Amino acid sequence: MTFNYALSDLLLPPTSLIVLTLLGVLMLKRRRIAGVALIVSSQVLFLALSTPVVANALVRSLEPLPVLIEEVKRAQAIVVLGGGRNLGSPEWGGETVNDYTLRRTRYGARLARETGLPVYVSGGKPTGGQLAEGTLMRELMAREFNAPVKWVDAAAETTREQALIVARDLKAQQISRIALVTDAVHMPRAQRAFELAGLAVVSAPTGYTAQRPFAPYQLIPGPAALLQSHVALREWGSQLHHHVLALVD
């Protein structure tokens, strides 16, 4: 886990809301009304963020429209970003891609087959281990999806590093316009990073999770929805951070 992700886990729900609840408990003896208010408000927010209807709304605010194949064909290369690994997968020899990386790789391979564009896969080893995301993605794409990979970045550990390394390598090949593949909720941040690195980006998002129509079960709290809310808030927080830095500069 990178420092930024560890910090977001501490500052964002559910950890932050648990801390606020405990703080409210500590306040009960001296400032009872304020303590009760803090406990109730933090727990109500915890429950709200745990409902699919709220989580979907947060994620939907970030997910862009899907790409048309005609738009992808205007790019010069397809760049697929890694989304993590499973380091405890004995049936695959100990290490393999996680669900995020798998669906990104699958979609990137599909776009490559339909367009004939060369593929660049990117991802290092932010959580240690033996094999980088980029290495695993190259093997997966060639072996299971019949789409060879032309370039591999096995060093980048953050989205910003991926953008800088990919831009450096592709500009050297006279490539300036890419189709970028990552999860839909991650796309706004990723696209911004690659554009700041000097590449024109056709966003090719995958892994949509919030486009389903409303159903009554979406009012029932659950851990999957809380995870979705956490991811969306992390992405919004990252965008806010970039805007603040831009204003300071």
Tens-place pLDDT, residues 138-156: 999 999 999 999 999 999 9
* Choice between 7 and 192, residue whose per-residue pLDDT is larger: 192
* Amino acid 243: pLDDT: 60
* Amino acid 239: pLDDT: 80
pLDDT at residue 235 is higher than 80: yes
Task: Taking residues 160-165, report their average pLDDT.
Answer: 98
Averaged confidence pLDDT in the chain = 94
Q: How far is CA 126 from the centre of its chain?
A: 14
H or E element at residue 200: strand 200-206
Report the percentage of the chain scoring pLDDT > 90: 90
pLDDT at residue 48 is higher than 60: yes
Chain segment 180-218, per-residue pLDDT in tens: 999 999 999 999 999 999 999 999 999 999 998 999 999
* Amino acid 16: pLDDT: 96
* Amino acid 1: pLDDT: 61
pTM of the model: 0.93
**CB-based contact 184:208 (threshold 8 Å):** yes
**Separation CA 115–CA 172 (nearest Å):** 22
Q: By C-alpha distance, which of 241, 247, 216, 205 is closest to 60?
A: 205
Chain segment 21-47, per-residue pLDDT in tens: 999 999 999 999 999 999 999 999 999
pLDDT at residue 245 is higher than 60: no
Task: Taking residues 111-119, report their average pLDDT.
Answer: 98
Torsional sign, CA 176, 200, 110, 89: positive
